[in-house]
Amino acid sequence: MKKPELLAPAGDLERLKIALLYGADAVYLGGNMFNLRANANNLTEEELKEGVEFAHKLNKKVYITVNISMHNKELVKIKEYLITLDKLNVDAIIITDPAIIPIAKKYTNLTLHLSTQTSSLNKEAIEFWKNEGVERVVLARECTKEDIEDIKKNVDIELEVFIHGAMCASYSGRCVLSNFLTGRDANRGGCSQICRWDFDLYEGDDHLEGDKPFTFCTKDLSMAGYIPDLIKTGADSFKIEGRMRSAYYIATIVRTYRKIIDEYCQNPEDYTYNVKYEQTLRRVANRDSITQFFNGDYSKDVQYYNGREEKTNQDFIGIVLDYDEKTKLAKIEQRNYFKKGDKIEAFGPSDEFDLTVTDLYDEDLNPLEVVRHPKQIVYIKMPKPVKKDYMLKMC
């Protein structure tokens, strides 16, 4: 059985490394130009170089988003930027604007992936892009299982599909509400997420009062329970959304899907989905998750029409910086409040264990009762060894 690529987002160099260490086969990220995450940190040329070298040492890949819709003024800059990416030896670029194709073909050896922003849904469109020189298409998130199977059967090209993360209320790449209401261009990286706002409803001049504010915010996508079905479609790459998400979120989501994919591929005949993964995925998100369009569900159940409550997750309490095997003390960078006596879980790419915080010290090894300062450096005695970049969370 062909195992699909697990593709993770990376908002910066730290998250790039975390995603790859926790099981991603490849990452996608933005450089400092031409990408659709204007509010992400993105990466400088030096950081891109370091990230690509880090990935390639692990025999993994880096894809760079070059997916804005360009105006004339950008055409004079895109050539040099693509040449730079080619020299950095990135594994592919993800594009939306067809103007980039002939420029990339003429001046570079870059592999071209087509962004979901083009909303490609059918085999004729996919065949067109293949003939233009695209080697992979990131399918529209509105594709059903039958759509994916039909395209894969009829077009010899790599297909990438989303398996987890936020959804757009409109077709991806076709929404201009942000432009209209805030002047921030959604198709150039500035989306202000109008679909998540609360709205007043009017019928003529009459204000309609409801129990809750009206919204058309979509629920998130989660394909965790349908990975076998998705693998059987022949899709080549499974993509996680979330370049603005935390390192903890990335580590948890990547690690969980890595387990699901591997468990199925190792034993497809006797595979049983572990429903405990649902709780793990839910605890790092703040919206409900469903399969969205994959099963052909276009009903009211895919959206929040009558308000929602989003709670900030504070499970993530720290990340391991170092570990001393002699003293069994782990050096921790704090991320959320915790205290002596708390029951916590330590987890890495492939293992986890629970413990109670009994021995807690500040950076100078003075005893502590509470850790409450942002990114405070502390030490915790661990019953088992941990490694750099292990995560700590509340049980």
Give me the DSSP letters along 368-384: -SEE-STT-EEEEE-SS
Mean pLDDT is lowest, of 30-39, 130-139, 243-252, for 30-39
- List, edge to edge, every strand of the sheet that includes 391-394: 352-356, 343-347, 391-394, 316-324, 329-334, 377-381, 360-361
pLDDT recorded at residue 310: 62
Per-residue 3-state assignment (H helix, E strand, C coil) for the chain: CCCCEEEEECCCHHHHHHHHHCCCCEEEEECCCCCCCCCCCCCCHHHHHHHHHHHHHCCCEEEEEECCCCCHHHHHHHHHHHHHHHHCCCCEEEECCCCHHHHHHHHCCCCEEECHHHCCCCHHHHHHHHHHCCCEEECCCCCCHHHHHHHHHHCCCEEEEEEEECCCCCCCCCCCHHHHHHCCCHHHCCCCCHHHCCECEEECCEEECCCCCECCEECEEECHHHHHHHHHCCCCEEEECCCCCCHHHHHHHHHHHHHHHHHHHHCCCCCCCCCHHHHHHHHCCCCCEECHHHHCCCCHHHEECCCCCCCCCCCEEEEEEEEECCCCEEEEEECCCEECCCEEEEECCCCEEEEECCCEECCCCCECCEECCCCCEEEEECCCCCCCCCEEEEC
pLDDT recorded at residue 318: 96
Judge whether 144 and 294 are in contact, CB under 8 Å.
yes
In the chain, the percentage of residues whose pLDDT exceeds 70 is: 95
pLDDT recorded at residue 215: 81
Give me the DSSP letters along 222-262: E-GGGHHHHHHTT-SEEEE--TTS-HHHHHHHHHHHHHHHH
Residue with more model confidence, 199 or 236? 236
* pTM listed for this prediction: 0.92
225-252 pLDDT, tens per residue? 999 999 999 999 999 998 888 999 999 9
pLDDT recorded at residue 308: 63
pLDDT recorded at residue 218: 82
> Cα(first)–Cα(last) distance of the chain, in Å?
36
313-367 pLDDT, tens per residue? 679 999 999 999 999 999 999 999 999 999 999 999 999 999 999 999 999 999 9
54-82 pLDDT, tens per residue? 999 999 999 999 988 888 988 889 999 99
pLDDT recorded at residue 289: 81
Number of H helices, E strands in the chain: 10, 23
**Could you identify the residue written with the tokens 């432009």?**
179
Judge whether 267 and 261 are in contact, CB under 8 Å.
no
Q: How far apart are CA 27 and CA 60, in angstroms?
A: 8
262-320 pLDDT, tens per residue? 999 999 999 999 999 998 998 887 677 878 888 877 777 777 776 666 666 679 999 99
Mean pLDDT in residue range 364-371: 96
Q: How confident is the model at residue 2 (pLDDT cuts 50, 70, 90)?
A: confident
Average confidence score pLDDT of the chain: 91
pLDDT recorded at residue 60: 98
Say if residue 89's pLDDT is above 90: yes
Q: How far apart are CA 169 and CA 374, in angstroms?
A: 35
